[in-house]
Amino acid sequence: MKTVFSAGQLAHDPRHEISDGELKPAVEIPARAEIVRARILEAGMGDILAPEEFGMAPLARVHDAGYLDFLDSFWTRWTEAGRGGEAFPFVWPVRGLRADPVPDHIDGLLGRYSFDAGTPMGEETFAAARASANSALTGARLVAGGDRAAFALCRPPGHHAAADYYGGYCFLNNAAIAAQWLRDAGAARVAIFDVDYHHGNGTQAIFYDRSDVLFLSVHADPREEYPYFLGHAEETGIGAGEGFNVNYPLAPGADWGVWSAALDAGLERIARFAPDVLVVSLGLDPYEKDPISRFRLTQDDFTRLGARLARAGLPTLFVLEGGYAVDALGVNCVNTLTGFEAG
């Protein structure tokens, strides 16, 4: 299986995040990608390719033009306001406030285009996010060109980013961008299966009214876990998308027995949908030792995950999402990919 990775993704190097109401050391750091890449090389999985440059057009198929302009111009606006270092939003257009005026000031723009305070932005954030998206797009092109599977080693991750907001360490929705590119390249139907510990709220929002992209997510119950305000079982799509959004929220403490039952239910739904290609938002944070997870998957369970996904019999693009137990991240990722190849 080919891996797509850009060293440009490492330029986004946050030092801090706001978590649990406190300023803490960042966990979505370049070492995550470096550890996965090292393990792939050690395991001899296959070629590691640099991504192609796809330009802005595939991003604009998924993301709002004003949002992309904000990301592109952020650092200039930030420094022109006399700021330096990492940026965090602190005010949002919540209930009772107007969301329609586009502020001129960078602080207002940060609030308009974000949904949490835990995702720092810096000088290289957009460049790194674009490199990450290009990795996903290159992986999509490999699969569209006949490869059984490909792995896009993406960071920053993407599944929390919606059409016009960032958060959850995500700025561009890599899986959604790849899925839309696959549709534009000729795939009639695409399924996205998100197995991250946290719900892929951004991906759900992007495709919520569409029937050509089936979105499924196995994740921690949002009544207990981030992102809290999306990911409930009754969210099944609207309009043409009714029935094409499927959430499997699970209680904290879920082990392989509970988790895999939801996985199998999702795979059955995918089989009925009969897509041309499968995109897997590969979150590795359901791992039992992940610092921000309360699921209990073991390292061997990730091998089982890969094997179950292989049974779908579909061309498959794996896109890296979360996973913060850095010592085990590479092992869990390679276990999934080798489990798929052997399945």
Q: What amino acid positions are annotated as catalytic residues? A: 160
DSSP states of 225-260 as a string? STT-SS--TT----GGGTTSEEEEEE-TT--HHHHH
Prior bond to 30 cis, omega within 30? no
Q: How many CB atoms lie within 10 A of CB 290?
A: 23
In the block, tokens 């790194």 appear at 128
Of 243, 202, 199, the residue nearest 218 (C-alpha): 199
| 23 burial via Cβ count (<10 Å: 0-12, 13-18, 19+) | exposed
Instruction: Note the residue count of the chain.
Output: 343
- What's the CA gap between 246 and 289, in Å, rounded? 27
CB 341 within 8 A of CB 200: no
Contacts of 299 (CB under 8 A, 6+ apart): 287, 328, 331, 332, 335
CB 229 within 8 A of CB 244: no
Angle at the Cα of 203 from the Cα atoms of 251 and 281, rounded to 5 degrees: 70
CB 189 within 8 A of CB 273: yes
**Number of Cα atoms under 13 Å in the Cβ half of residue 158:** 39
Prior bond to 156 cis, omega within 30? yes
- What's the CA gap between 307 and 310, in Å, rounded? 5
